[in-house]
């Protein structure tokens, strides 16, 4: 069993700027996972955007707090806490924080990359 907290050294050491907008950290990744690519947490400050990009793997963005505008290919929808967005592999996607608070998301990615 592996239990990771977002404040653990192994998580904090992975902090990076995700696609020009969010501060992200890998909670669990390929260093320990076998069938899942990664689980990350990302904080998108008010007015910031995760720029449109394409990834070679399927992803899910899950909103923990805050609100935003999620775009996948040609479709844009408002997202809020409790919303999960499925992003097919190779699809262009972006997320803009449209709320007055930070937008906190979990990102889960498949291992096929």
**CA 103-30-66 angle, 5° bins:** 5
Element containing residue 77 per DSSP (H, E):
strand 75-79
Q: Provide the whole-model pTM.
A: 0.91
Phi–psi pair at 21, nearest 5 degrees? -135, -50
**Gap between the Cα atoms of 44 and 33, Å rounded:** 25
Boundaries of every domain in the chain: 9-110
CATH code of 9-110, in short, is 2.60.120.10
CB atoms < 10 A from the CB of 99, how many? 14
The pLDDT value recorded for residue 113 is: 57
Give 77-108 pLDDT, tens digit per residue: 999 999 999 999 999 999 999 999 999 999 99
Give 45-81 pLDDT, tens digit per residue: 999 999 999 999 999 999 999 999 999 999 999 999 9
Q: CA separation (Å) from 12 to 27, 37, 50, 100?
A: 9, 18, 20, 25
């Amino acid at each position: 069993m592996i239990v990771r907290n977002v404040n653990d050294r192994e998580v904090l050491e992975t902090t990076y700027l995700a696609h020009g907008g969010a501060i992200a950290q890998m909670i669990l990744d390929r260093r320990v996972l076998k069938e899942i690519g990664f689980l990350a947490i990302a904080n998108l400050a008010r007015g910031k955007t995760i720029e449109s990009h394409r990834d070679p793997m399927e992803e899910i963005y899950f909103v923990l707090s805050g609100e935003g505008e999620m775009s996948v290919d040609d479709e844009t929808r408002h997202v809020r806490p409790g919303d999960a967005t499925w992003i097919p592999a190779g699809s262009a996607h972006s997320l803009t924080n449209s709320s007055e608070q930070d937008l906190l998301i979990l990102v889960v990615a498949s291992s096929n990359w």
